[in-house]
Structure 1
Amino acid sequence: MKLFNKKQLTVGITCLTLALVAVTPGCKKFLDTDIQGGYTADNYPYPSGSGPYDVYINAIYGDLRSYNVHADGFIVATSIRSDDADKGSTASDGGSDVITMDNFPVLPNNGRGNALWTGYYGMITKCNTALDAIANNTNIVADPAVKAQAEAEVRFVRGYAYFMLVRLFGNVPLIDKVFADPAAQSNVAQSSPDVIYPFIEKDLTVAAAGLPMVPPAKFPGRLTAGAANGMLAKVYLTQKKWGAAMGVASAVINSGQYDLSTPYAKIFSEDGENSKESIFEVQATASSSRKTEDGIQYASIQGVRGVNDFNMGWGWNTPSPFLEAAYEANDPRKARTILYASKAGAQSRTLYNEIMPLYPSEVPNERYNNKVYTNPSFRSAVNDRGGWWMNVRILRYADVVLMYAEAANETGATQEAIDKLEMVRARARAGNAAILPKVTTTDKTGLRLAIQQERRIELAMEHDRFFDLVRWGIADDALHAAGKANYLNSRDALLPIPQTQIDLSKNVLKQNPGY
């Protein structure tokens, strides 16, 4: 549910008109409907099927839409740093912060790095506050089952936040409690990934055990066990814990809650949000009177940078020519991923049959991210072109299927790996037997490369490519081949610890190697 016009109630710690994350199919966007999970004057303090801890939980979900969590720095660090994307826009746009993220090395004074640090730790602080209230606030009366589910929701978000931090920065402070003096939080020493990863695993394991398979019908945006198990599979895969990754991925696959029935071309549109493909999806919403307050500046940052009706955003995160060349012949996913500008003698059209502006006279880039292109009917309804209503897909079912395939291949379960790989390719070919032939190799190395290629194409522009290159140990070769000659894996696999945070810690925090 996306567009709304009803009044909402602002309460205490946060404006409770917050979008939650969606994990169930079938939620459509309608005018004149309440925002998912939001409170109104008619149902505060909480409606039937909700819970007494939502004042804390909604604040945490709201942070998932934060500019410092899933917008600017997130796009730059997870996508623009990879070989699949370039900064885009004009050469100088974004300044050194973004240009060095694209071309390396990133400097310790990089503002985007510091924003990510503060964004994720801010969310962790809210999680710790919520967990403290669940455990110790005797003024809140709740059934043990309600407390357990609330704890599970919060621990999922905290585990996810630490997973992002450890992949972005490496050695990070492990903060799992509320500080009487908030300033003292800046002086916690870093822990190594060997300490952080078990903490993440525990949080996500508790979340998987405590969350429902499906959220209450009244709140389709609540987290589920599938989201926790799916994220845990990625955590295990990152550490090469192949058997454990297979186990939790199979829990998602065998749950019966998700499938690959949603056409690839539909997944990324407004009417494809929260489909059977969706496992962890950050919600956003907008209306003509609230164009940005309840949304997220995600599509806007990547929107076509043109004139008039095509003045849709910053034009950042453009698909690279190296991604363009990586597609197999006639793969339909290419058209849903790369939106081409028109050129002299070669007119290009959008998904909605709009004629794209001309490169280079009307737009500065040849290619744009078609997975965030907005429906003109929603632009008209909101009377805005920024796309703040677009959800952010963090974890899809196809991702989990491919994680299972990768882990299966590494453990010698070759046929299972082939079968799971074929599930994703079959959906992509959409019945056209002339394209995307079935992968049949049983050679472990050959199958590994095929699965890696499939992840690149299936999840293109979706924030996994850089992390995948690093965990596969091929970042140097891949990024150098894409023209990012300054990349040095021993230094650039991790961002520098922000100098601002080192200063605040009075040098308790130590810089990463190479910076």
Structure 2
Amino acid sequence: MKNKILVLALAATLAGCDKDFLDQEPKASLSSTDLNNLAAVEALITAAYAPLGGQIDDANNAFNSPGTNWTFGDVVSDDAYKGGGGVGDQNGMHLMEIFLTNANIIDVDRKWRAGYEGVARANRAIQAVNNFAGMSAEQKTIRLGELHLLRGHYYFDLKKVYNRIPWVDETPRTITEYDIPNNLSDAELWKNIENDFLLAETSLPAKQADLGRLTKGAATAYLAKLYLYTKDYPKVITKVDALLATGLYRLNDNYHDNFDPSKEHGPESLFTIERSIRDGTPSNYRGSLDERLLNPGGPFYPVYGFDAPSQDLVNAFKTTAAGLPQTDKSDVGTNDSVDPRLDHAVARPGIQFLDLAPYAASWVRDAGTYGQFSFKKRMVSSRSTFYLNQFPWVSALNYDIIRLADVLLFKAEALAETDNLEGARTIVNQIRRRATNDQVRNADGTPAARYNVAPYTAVWTDPEVARQAVRTERRLEMALEGHRFFDLVRWGVADQVMNEHFAREKSRRTYLSTARFVKGTHEYWPIPQTQLNLSKGLLTQNAGY
């Protein structure tokens, strides 16, 4: 791991034209003399936030290292196809989708570099804060809390993707001492990340004056997520309860409020990637660069069309007459009832697309390869001031790394796994009741489809039925938010789900005919070849690559 030189880049900022602590003039570098200045130290802290969105250089291909994980979480799952202009368009992503990944793919390399860029910046800022005498003890505690939470996030993301990763803390090192093996055990890595989160939780305030700064709630939520990944279910429940007890967080009234840039920093938002456009940054690099390929095409957007929702995902939103998930995998027909969250997440022919027009299959770039659906969930209207209707075609919509519905489903899962089935049902029903409030409407105000979603009325008595209901609800609520593949892996079902998915899909998506998930290999991605070459033999490649 060779992040040995800190370059202070522009940070991501708050959406729209609002100003907050992240709006700063760029500096090329900082000397040790500069770090005797409070503004310079604060600039280093700001810089540690910047890689959250995956932008690490002066290129516009943050989509190869997305902070939203749309490639590493959606495209390689049963929720989405790569999309775009055929299998040769961003061919590395295609190889990832069919699990022919190799260590030289640009996405594999850039995701690693983005994560460790974040680690390097957090470590440098921690050093600067610790060594700076011109900051009050209270302020120093808060800033260190932010930095440890950021570092913990970067490592958590790297752990999910690569599993076996080298750990570098803020200890000053010589150049050669940065050559570190990836030989820590799972338990050791999770413990290190947990320690960062625990320090953040005890150091951060419940609220910060500057919008976008991390808070205690974000740390508590991330601890709940870590305990979910490590299957420490009682601690998941304890942390979620502690978060709810603050009274600061609740579900937004409407599902789509989570994806409306005019309603950001609402009661459901816990940890976000802050974005802005038209803020003077060269090429609008603080916008949603990591998702600029998700524009659906058609008359209102450039024709990119990546992260195309799968038929399998659309079918998952089909509901029974009782308003519950229909699990038979049959294709949704025009007369079928569906969960309204479908039409907030997926663009379907004939369904209104934001405030623009009914979506048409002709908007699709390559329907013959990837089908008729397009990504919709975090699209901002091309008429909105929060959308940049010119290259690089990005928006100022923030992305929630963690939102409250996510956290509530952590608890539901933990309750189901500890035999509190009714507690799990109560939470799932809370999520489902919110879904009834927000139907997509036609231009004349009528519902755009046959919407029917309802809570589970029958008591849950079978643990396996409860487990599957919670997992289904998680898929529906968090669809296309970059989580699905990681969920399949931590549940231990990735090989079964993905190979069954390929068996069903290969008749309609012929490029998937050779796709195969190998258990014990494909749960994680290869260590980039560039890093192996630089490590002088200290990094060990993941199994099967």
Same fold by TM (over 0.5)?
A: yes
Contact 1:201–1:232, Cα closer than 8 Å, also in 2: yes
Once residues 140 and 438 of structure 2 are traced to their aligned partners in structure 1, the CA distance between those partners, rounded to angstroms, is 47
- Match for residue 34 of structure 1? 19
Contact 1:288–1:383, Cα closer than 8 Å, also in 2: no
Once residues 305 and 452 of structure 2 are traced to their aligned partners in structure 1, the CA distance between those partners, rounded to angstroms, is 35
Per the alignment, in what secondary structure is the counterpart of residue 300 of structure 2? helix
Once residues 81 and 246 of structure 1 are traced to their aligned partners in structure 2, the CA distance between those partners, rounded to angstroms, is 30
Shift of 1:383: 4.2
Contact 2:386–2:396, Cα closer than 8 Å, also in 1: no
Corresponding residue to 1:377 among 366, 379, 383: 383
CA change 1:182–1:436 in 2 (3 A) is: farther
- Match for residue 443 of structure 1? 462
Per the alignment, in what secondary structure is the counterpart of residue 517 of structure 2? coil
Aligned length: 476
Moved more, 349-358 or 449-458: 349-358
Corresponding residue to 1:350 among 337, 353, 357: 353
Once residues 273 and 432 of structure 2 are traced to their aligned partners in structure 1, the CA distance between those partners, rounded to angstroms, is 26
Q: What is the correspondence of 1:40-439 to structure 2 with a 5 Å cutoff? A: 53-67=41-55, 71-73=63-65, 74-135=69-130, 137-138=131-132, 140-182=133-175, 184-216=177-209, 219-287=210-278, 290=281, 292-306=284-298, 309-311=300-302, 314-329=304-319, 330-340=338-348, 342=349, 347-359=350-362, 364=367, 365-378=371-384, 382-384=388-390, 386-430=393-437, 435-438=453-456
CA change 1:431–1:289 in 2 (3 A) is: closer
Moved more, 241-250 or 172-181: 172-181
Shift of 1:356: 3.3
CA change 1:17–1:187 in 2 (3 A) is: closer
Per the alignment, in what secondary structure is the counterpart of residue 222 of structure 1? coil
Once residues 256 and 384 of structure 1 are traced to their aligned partners in structure 2, the CA distance between those partners, rounded to angstroms, is 41
Contact 1:125–1:178, Cα closer than 8 Å, also in 2: no
Once residues 100 and 11 of structure 2 are traced to their aligned partners in structure 1, the CA distance between those partners, rounded to angstroms, is 40
Shift of 1:425: 1.0
Once residues 166 and 299 of structure 1 are traced to their aligned partners in structure 2, the CA distance between those partners, rounded to angstroms, is 22
Contact 2:253–2:437, Cα closer than 8 Å, also in 1: no
Moved more, 423-432 or 403-412: 423-432
CA change 1:187–1:367 in 2 (3 A) is: same
Shift of 1:429: 1.9
Shift of 1:298: 3.0
CA change 1:272–1:195 in 2 (3 A) is: same
Q: Name the aligned partner's letter for residue 49 of structure 2.
A: Y
Once residues 85 and 122 of structure 1 are traced to their aligned partners in structure 2, the CA distance between those partners, rounded to angstroms, is 28
- Match for residue 14 of structure 1? 8
Once residues 155 and 327 of structure 1 are traced to their aligned partners in structure 2, the CA distance between those partners, rounded to angstroms, is 38
Once residues 435 and 262 of structure 1 are traced to their aligned partners in structure 2, the CA distance between those partners, rounded to angstroms, is 16
Once residues 123 and 285 of structure 1 are traced to their aligned partners in structure 2, the CA distance between those partners, rounded to angstroms, is 19
- Residue 508, structure 1, aligned to residue 545, structure 2: no
Q: What TM-score, normalized by structure 2, do the two folds share? A: 0.81
Kindly provide the CA deviation profile for residues 154-177 of structure 1, in whole angstroms up to 9, marking residues without a partner as x: 000111111111111111111113
Q: Name the aligned partner's letter for residue 162 of structure 1.
A: Y
- Match for residue 492 of structure 1? 522
CA change 1:443–1:63 in 2 (3 A) is: same
Contact 1:173–1:191, Cα closer than 8 Å, also in 2: yes
Per the alignment, in what secondary structure is the counterpart of residue 173 of structure 1? coil
Q: Name the aligned partner's letter for residue 490 of structure 1.
A: G
Once residues 403 and 288 of structure 2 are traced to their aligned partners in structure 1, the CA distance between those partners, rounded to angstroms, is 19
Once residues 413 and 231 of structure 2 are traced to their aligned partners in structure 1, the CA distance between those partners, rounded to angstroms, is 10
Contact 1:89–1:315, Cα closer than 8 Å, also in 2: yes
Contact 1:406–1:417, Cα closer than 8 Å, also in 2: yes
Kindly provide the CA deviation profile for residues 248-271 of structure 1, in whole angstroms up to 9, marking residues without a partner as x: 111222221111133012221222
CA change 1:166–1:457 in 2 (3 A) is: same
Contact 1:298–1:388, Cα closer than 8 Å, also in 2: no
Contact 1:186–1:501, Cα closer than 8 Å, also in 2: no
Per the alignment, in what secondary structure is the counterpart of residue 289 of structure 2? coil
CA change 1:500–1:465 in 2 (3 A) is: same
Contact 1:233–1:244, Cα closer than 8 Å, also in 2: yes
Contact 1:406–1:448, Cα closer than 8 Å, also in 2: yes
Q: Name the aligned partner's letter for residue 501 of structure 2.
A: A
* Cα root mean square deviation, aligned: 2.7
Q: What TM-score, normalized by structure 1, do the two folds share? A: 0.86
Kindly provide the CA deviation profile for residues 19-78 of structure 1, in whole angstroms up to 9, marking residues without a partner as x: 16xxxxxxxx665x435532479xxxxxxxx98742111001112133369743332112
Contact 1:214–1:224, Cα closer than 8 Å, also in 2: yes
Kindly provide the CA deviation profile for residues 184-217 of structure 1, in whole angstroms up to 9, marking residues without a partner as x: 424444322221000011100111111111111x
- Structure 2 gap segments, 5+ residues each: 1-5, 27-37, 320-337, 440-450, 503-511
Once residues 438 and 385 of structure 2 are traced to their aligned partners in structure 1, the CA distance between those partners, rounded to angstroms, is 33
CA change 1:58–1:331 in 2 (3 A) is: same
Matched residues, percent identical? 26
Corresponding residue to 2:490 among 465, 471, 475: 471
Contact 2:340–2:452, Cα closer than 8 Å, also in 1: no
Once residues 30 and 164 of structure 1 are traced to their aligned partners in structure 2, the CA distance between those partners, rounded to angstroms, is 27
CA change 1:70–1:210 in 2 (3 A) is: farther
Per the alignment, in what secondary structure is the counterpart of residue 384 of structure 2? helix
Shift of 1:512: 0.9
Contact 1:298–1:392, Cα closer than 8 Å, also in 2: no
Once residues 176 and 477 of structure 2 are traced to their aligned partners in structure 1, the CA distance between those partners, rounded to angstroms, is 43
